[in-house]
Amino acid sequence: MIGTEHANTCFYLPTPPKVPKKWNHLDTGATQALIELNGNHWRKILTIMAKIVVNDKDWRQYRNQHLLKRDESIAIGANNLCSTAQRHIICGKESADVLNLDSTEFVQLDLQETSLLKHLDQNIYLCPYLDYRQFPNTQIDLLRQTLGLAPLCTTSD
């Protein structure tokens, strides 16, 4: 688990980032350290996470200063949902398969072509892997609206 132990929102990913020695998610510059060690791939992952959960439009500041420190965690290769989280964002088919979720219990978030699904009774969301080709800003905004957050309406990274 990376991030706040009792996070309200848990992201489920299949593979972990490299973590610097003596790294702590509460350290100043913790997300920047992950980005520097893991490169553009994890910059994208952390950026999309910030865009999904930020309460205002300043996702960059949230990613750099608050992500994983306040109310989010990342469960890597988890085979069970985090018991303390209120919202579960399952990222990619591999993560969903490991969790053994029943696809018949999910509905598509809209009628357009999207791969975003929501559980019928719980706050569990099946999403594409956190990459811009699979999870563009239009889908991020759709998920944000479903979560009760205003759309970011961004077109840039």
Each residue's pLDDT, cut to its tens digit, for the chain (157 residues) gives 999 889 999 999 999 999 989 999 999 999 999 999 999 999 999 999 999 999 988 999 999 999 999 899 999 999 999 999 999 999 999 999 999 998 889 998 876 667 899 999 999 999 999 998 889 998 999 999 999 999 886 555 5
If you write DSSP's letter for every residue of 53-120 in order, what string do you get?
A: H-SSS-HHHHHHHTTTTSSEEEEES-SS--TT-SEEEEESHHHHHHHT--GGGEEESSSSS---EEES
User: What residues have CB less than 8 Å from 41, skipping those under 6 apart?
Assistant: none
**Which amino acid does the sequence have at 10?**
C
The token duo for 54 is 């930020």
The answer to whether the CB of 68 falls within 8 A of the CB of 31 is: yes
> What number of other Cβ atoms are within 10 A of residue 133's Cβ?
8
Domain boundaries, the chain: 2-146
CB 50 within 8 A of CB 63: yes
Which pTM does this prediction carry? 0.93
**Six-digit token string for 21:** 């020695």
